[in-house]
Amino acid sequence: MANSLIIVESPAKVKTIKKFLGKTYTVDATMGHLIDMPKSSLGVDVDNDYDPKYITIRGKGELLSKLKKEAKKADKIYLATDPDREGEAISWHLKNELDKDAANRDKISRITFNEITKNAVKNAIKSPRDIDMDLVNAQQARRVIDRLVGYTISPLLWKKIRKGLSAGRVQSVALRMICDREADIAAFTPEEYWSLDANLLYGKKKLKAAFYGKDKKMPLSNEAEVDDIINHIGEGEFTVTDVKNSERRKKAPLPFTTSTMQQEAAKSLGFATSKTMKLAQTLYEDGYITYLRTDSTRISVEADAAAKIYISDKYGEDYVNGGSQDARKPQEKEVKIQDAHEAIRPTDLDLTPEEAKAKLQRDEARLYTLVYKRFLASRMTAAVYDTESIRLDSKGYTFTLSGSKLRFDGFLSVYMSEEDKEDKDISLPDIKVDEKLKLTNFDKEQHFTQPPAHYTEASLVKALEEDGIGRPSTYAPTIGTLLARRYITKEKRNIFVTELGQAVDDMMQKNFPTIVDTAFTANMESLLDTVANGDINWKTIVENFYPDLSEAVEKAQLEVEKITIRDEETDIECDKCGRKMVIKYGPHGKFLACPGFPDCRNTKPYVEYAGFVCPDCGAECVKRRSKKGRIFYSCSRYPDCNYMTWNKPKEPVTGEKKDGEIMA
């Protein structure tokens, strides 16, 4: 009996795929990359055509040997790593290793599937192919260029600023964007303006009309202008001069791409991008959603047809997408994207969000619900509003009333984004031209223009995507690296640059302006796409890039002066020498250290309060990390009190912080 070996990336996929196949199939996982460039050296021969040096990743030798033994027993070998550039590269490296045994060479094939379902896996096995070397070379180009940037600039940061820092091709541009936004906020000068509303009565109905102007829109820049208008109108009547009724159609949203899923999960669920990707990875590997790394909004013909049948049966034929009037068309930038995968969607519409709650962890179910409803909504009709716009005149000044009423909910019956929720349903009475409304009083209010908003993870992802920086797979790790390096910090979802991050960005902008240039980085992404399309040799891109980088690094080594970054000082005194202790960062997070090091080596734990009290003794609980990095909460009186929990209770804080401790 023939025996087939299927090799995927993660153990979770192994478990899912085994359910679909018979005993003649063995399924195993690579656990990610098996082969890569060494961590201890550059790994790129810059003097010999930029050949990368590949080695078996430390700790993966035993697994590779195991896969080779399984391959030897198999009649057919299917390399089924993820359907993207990284997955293609993993399969290529694995094939090269398996090909060392000549008996394997004719039985190795590459297969891909966009969703882990029985039909998708079986259809993939029926359509094997060769390794796509264009995709592999695009991955090699990206990996080599990223390695050249990171391994040549990072040591300079260690020498000139602080050890443990890093630079990256996408990471450095993202940091520059954040620093530029912070600079815009700091440089912003608010300007005064005023609003004026007339409170009117139409019978017993109270209405609020907004000041418009005279012949054209008239801004109000100070209170004197507002008072002049109020005094001129006095107690005058407001006469209706124009009434316009129309229809507004709000088109259904496109299904999720990686970035739009990250943005909406951040807005509506409060998830960090890293959390969203982790949850989506689990949902994909367990067979609940399609592949999670995609910038395409395309949906397969089969999935589209199934969705429309489902919508018709459950909501009625009127809710089925009727074509161009109902569906939002991709914008120009969305048309130019890679279209290797479908958008993110559920694999089975029969698994409703309600049923998923019983099968999934809470946050997995919440993300699944978001994906499910967004996909279903994308196949539904537009929402239709009746809108009304009314103009009123009072002694030569124009005021306006506007209202809208939802006539047909369409896709809103299933899915409402945060923006949709802000679209208020405001109905106006049936007012006719020449009718008069009575003025009760005016409301005037002073305002000031606001600076640009701080980036959040959601808005940063959106900005990176719009500027063509990075790819779906890079957004979450890029933000994660910036946080891990303490270049940025987050407060109530807002991102702020730290003094360290500002210093790194200043050095990068002065010495490596090309690396942090958004247009250059976006063009590099386009060039990598041309490699993936087979239009250009990957080494051509590298050889055009590296000489300028090398020259800039050499120049910076000589010209850049050392920068001193001060540690954040606290009010806590060192109990050994009396100095004010400072916050330091170690492998397990923050801790307190004496600034007198090495003369004084005193350190203390950094107490981060959890926001609730111990149910056993009433003392405040603190946030801690296990040896494996998992967050848990325990009593601050440990070991005298042994209370500990993995989950944060929803109890109010009734304890008080003690003198000499830090409330994080």
Low-confidence ranges of the chain (pLDDT < 70): 1-2, 323-340, 586-589, 625-630, 650-664
CATH of the domain at 302: 1.10.290.10
What is the C-alpha radius of gyration for the chain, rounded to an integer number of angstroms? Answer: 30
Report the pLDDT value the prediction gives residue 630, as an integer from 0 to 100.
Answer: 62
Number of domains in the chain: 5
> Residue 270, CB half-sphere, CA atoms under 13 Å: how many?
5
CA dihedral 78, 80, 86, 90 (to 10 degrees): -40
Query: How far from 506 is each of 116, 176, 180, 513, CA to CA, in Å?
Result: 46, 9, 11, 10
Tell me, what's the pLDDT at 627? 59
pLDDT reported for residue 481: 95
Same domain, 154 and 98: no
Does one domain contain both 47 and 117? Answer: yes
Distance CA 503, CA 488 (A): 12
Q: Is 434 left (phi over 0), alpha (psi -120 to 50) or beta?
A: left
Among 509, 541, 559, give the residue marking a domain's end: 559
113 in the same domain as 46: yes
310 is annotated as an active-site residue: no
Residue type, 492: K
| Active-site entry in 202, 284, 288, 291 | 291
Quick one: 576 and 432 in the same domain? no
CB 437 within 8 A of CB 401: no
- How far is Cα 108 from Cα 81, in angstroms, rounded to an integer? 13
Q: Domain for residue 652, yes or no?
A: no
Distance separating alpha carbons of residues 322 and 331, to the nearest angstrom: 20
Can you give the CATH number for the domain in which 406 is found?
2.70.20.10
Task: Tell whether 426 is covered by a domain.
Answer: yes
- Within this chain, do residues 300 and 319 fall inside the same structural domain, yes or no? yes
- Say if 650 falls within a structural domain: no
Provide the strand spans (E) within 603-660. 603-605, 609-613, 620-625, 631-635, 644-645
Please report whether residue 425 resides in a domain: yes
pLDDT of the residue at 658:
39
Both 229 and 242 in one domain: the answer is yes
Point out the domain boundary residue: 539, 559, 579: 559
DSSP state of 255: P
Q: Is 545 found in the same domain as 500?
A: yes
Q: Which residues pair with 386 in a beta bridge?
A: 247, 405
Backbone angles phi, psi at 405, to 5 degrees: -135, 130
pLDDT in tens, 194-219: 999 999 999 999 999 999 999 899 99
Asked if residue 323 and residue 439 are part of one domain, the reply reads: no
Judge whether 653 lies within some domain. no
Same domain for 467 and 585, yes or no, is no
- With respect to residue 596, please indicate whether it lies within any of the assigned structural domains: yes
Clarify whether residues 572 and 555 are in a common domain: no
| Beta bridge partner(s), residue 390 | 243, 401
- In this structure, is residue 655 part of a structural domain? no
Range of the domain at 612: 568-645
Give the global pTM. Answer: 0.82
